Structure formats: C-alpha cells, structure tokens
Amino acid sequence: MQKLLYITDQDEYVDHSFITPLFEIYLKKCMTVDILYFTDFKSDFTCKEEHHYVVPTRYKNMLLKELKQNNINLHSYDFVMVRNNIELMKHVLKYRDKYHYKALYRFSFPKRKVQIKCNEAEGKNQFLKRCVRAIQIKKETKIINSCDAFLPTSTQMQQAYRPEVTIPSIICAPAINPAALHTHQQHDSDETRFVYVGTLDKLRDFPTILDAFSSLENKSWKLYISTRDVEFANTLVEQYPTIKEKIRIYNAKTKDALLALIAKTDIGIALLPDLPIYSSSTPVKVFDYYSSGVPCLMTQSGHTSTIFTDEVDAWFSEFTLENITEKLNYLLSLSKEDIAAIGQKGQTRLLEVKNYENIAKTIADQLKAL
C-alpha cells in the first residue's frame, strides 16, 4: 500500500472537518495516510494514535530532521503533501531526492488575496501589498512547479490564482461526508428560519443581505448567524433596529455544534459578492447546510451551477438587493414541506456528485498515476 504524509499548517486542535473525512476516512481506504499538525503550545513531538504527528511550531524550519530524530521513517513515504505553506514546501522539496518521495502542494484558499481585498473594502491603500504579492506569487509558482503535483480546491481557483502552474493538477475539493449527515429537525414554529454560517467581514458585504431582510413585508422569519466574528456581527446587526430582534448570533465551536444548529433551521444562505475568490469554488457552508438536509439560497456561479439547478435542489440569486429581496419573498411563500423537499434533493445530488468517498478515490488514482 502506498503511503502519504500530509503536512498541514493547522493547529492540532482546529476543527479538521475537511481533513478528517477526506484524508483520514476515505483516502485511508486507498493508501496509508499519516497526518502532521503543528502546536503552538506543547514542547515535544507527539505521535498520537499511530498516524497523527504533532510537532511544536519551533521545528517548522527543520521539520524532517525532527521527524527523523523521532524515528519516523521518511523513506517509507511515497508522497509528502504540504498544505498552503510554501516555506515548508521548500523544505520538503530539499529532501525529495534523499528520501525518494513525490512532493505535492495543496492550495486550499488564496488567503493573502482575501486579506488584501478585505483591506481594500475597508478603504485601505493596498498598492504596495499588491506589488509584494505579485512578486511572491512568481516565487511561489516557481517552487510549486518543482513539485510533482498541485492540488487546488478547484480548476477555477487554479486559473484565477495560480495560472502559471504547469505541473499536473489534482482537484481536492470540499464535499459532503456521507457518514456525517444530520437529520433535519422540522421545528414547530410558524416562522421560516434562515441561517448564515461563516466569516463576516466588509468584503462579504452582509449589509446587502440585511437590507433585503429589513425590506420584507412578511415578518414571519428569523435569521441565525454562526460566526467567529461575533463582535463584527453584533455591530452590524445593531445598525438594523427594526429587525435586530429577529436575528440571533452564535459562535459554534465545533463542526458537530454547527451542524446541530443548522439542522434546526429551514434555509441556508450562501450569498456572496461576485468575486473570483468566492465564485472559484463552492463555499464549504453549502456542504454544511446540505449535510443537515437544509436547502440553500446561493449565488449562482460557474461552480455552483455545475452542481445545483435553480428551484430543483437549490435557489440561485444574484448578489443585488432587488434579487435577494425577491428571492426571500418567494421563499417565505413556500411551505415547510416544499422547502424540506428541496433540501433532500440537494443532499442526494451532492452525495451523487460531490462526496468525499468519490473524491478520495479519484485523488488516490491520480496520485498512483504520477
């Protein structure tokens, strides 16, 4: 059986809702997978449950040396994959010939680009940062092109953010976990419950959504928000005195808590401005909603429309006040049963085309072919 070492730049305790199903459950059916996390707090290397390594962040620059010193047989790996950290990738590439593994770079999200965009949305001049980023991307692309394969979240993301990567690409997309579906709980109250989960910042332009809600004549609704940016959310909602009583803000700490919250609602919201950072892949929140059988009102993009069909298993809306208001009015006219049926269809659709089991098989096959 081939063997993969997946090095993630994430902390050992973050919610690994992507890694766990894809790498630990399904990819493990095809190959041995060891996963390496970092810790900001513990002092020593730990090997947890045989296939989990936790390494103090101070060893990042000498990671493979540290693994060797802790009796990890680096010769045993056929593949070493690094997530998002180009310095770590450089380090792994340095030892590729010595240990004879294939080096893989996983690109999950263009974080720096998002940061610049957020700053611009707040009115900050980002000219210098844009220049620095352009240079960094050149350098990073060169390093990525020395790897054996590139694993972006979607083809569109590669085209938009790493167009000059020329090595083979293997798509590593978020999906639905067939083993972790939550049953949708039909609530007794008359109102329609909407839910939004995820980051809230200037760039996501949530006021447009709140404007739409506040213009609704039908007041039989509630909006649940679960976000880490609780302060931002509170400040924002305070600006809408007419509807603030209808909005509840949460900060679900774990994936289970989040899915449990979603399961108590009727319709998920994944409306985002028309920017490549949002349209180049399906937002993870969409999978979270459908995991609980909750249908989603989402922005139509090249990506989402390859999976869903408007009014069959989802609802599409342009990111404009008029369009969102119109869609919300329409959704408020639907019965709970109609809404639930759309959610069920969406979940079935995702299980057919975007589930971690299939994605893991495809990734394993493509890795073997390298």
Partner 1 sequence: MHKNHYEVLIIGGGISGTALFYELAKYTSVSSLCLLEKYEALATLNSKGTSNSQTIHIGDIETNYTLEKAKVTKRTAKMVEKFCLQYGLENKIMFKHQKMALGVGEKEVHFIKNRYHEFKVLFPYLELWDAEKLKTLEPKVIYLDKSQTKVRPEPIIAMGTNTQYTTIDYGAMSEALAEQAQKVSDIPTDIFYNTQVVDIFQKEDKTFEVHTKNNEMYTADFIVVNAGAHSLFLAHRMGYGKHMGCLPMAGSFYMTENHFLNGKVYMVQNNKLPFAALHGDPDILADGKTRFGPTALMLPKLERFKPGTYLDFFKTLNFDFHIVKIFWDLLGDSDIRNYVFKNFLFEVPLINKKLFVQDARKIVPSLSVDNIYYAKGFGGVRPQVLDKKKEKLMLGEASINTGKGIIFNMTPSPGATSCLGNAERDMIEIVKHLGLDYYVEQFFEDLTE
Question: Which residues are near partner 1 by CB under 8 A?
Answer: 11, 13, 39-46, 48, 54, 56-58, 61, 65, 69, 228, 253
**Tokens of residue 110, six digits:** 């263009």
Q: Which is nearer to partner 1, 39 or 145 (CB)?
A: 39
CB 53 to partner 1: min, Å: 11
Q: Which is nearer to partner 1, 7 or 294 (CB)?
A: 7
Q: Which is nearer to partner 1, 56 or 207 (CB)?
A: 56
Contact of 136 with 110, CB cutoff 8 Å? no
Contact of 33 with 24, CB cutoff 8 Å? yes
CB 70 to partner 1: min, Å: 11
- For residue 299, give the H/E element and its range: strand 296-299
Alpha-carbon span 366 to 370, nearest angstrom:
7
**Tokens of residue 88, six digits:** 């770590």
Contact of 307 with 287, CB cutoff 8 Å? no
**Tokens of residue 255, six digits:** 């994936």
CB 152 to partner 1: min, Å: 28
Q: Which is nearer to partner 1, 40 or 164 (CB)?
A: 40
**Tokens of residue 120, six digits:** 């611009």
CB 58 to partner 1: min, Å: 4
- For residue 19, give the H/E element and its range: helix 19-19
Q: Which is nearer to partner 1, 42 or 219 (CB)?
A: 42
**Tokens of residue 242, six digits:** 């007419």
Half-sphere exposure of 68 (CA within 13 A, CB side): 9
Q: Which is nearer to partner 1, 68 or 113 (CB)?
A: 68
Side by side, the strands of the sheet bearing 192-197 are 247-250, 221-226, 192-197, 267-270, 296-299, 315-317
CB 44 to partner 1: min, Å: 5
Contact of 269 with 196, CB cutoff 8 Å? yes
Phi, psi of 176 (to 5 degrees): -100, 140
3 state DSSP class of 216? coil
CB 229 to partner 1: min, Å: 11
Phi, psi of 299 (to 5 degrees): -80, 135
CB 279 to partner 1: min, Å: 30
Q: Which is nearer to partner 1, 228 or 368 (CB)?
A: 228
CB 27 to partner 1: min, Å: 24
Q: Which is nearer to partner 1, 54 or 247 (CB)?
A: 54
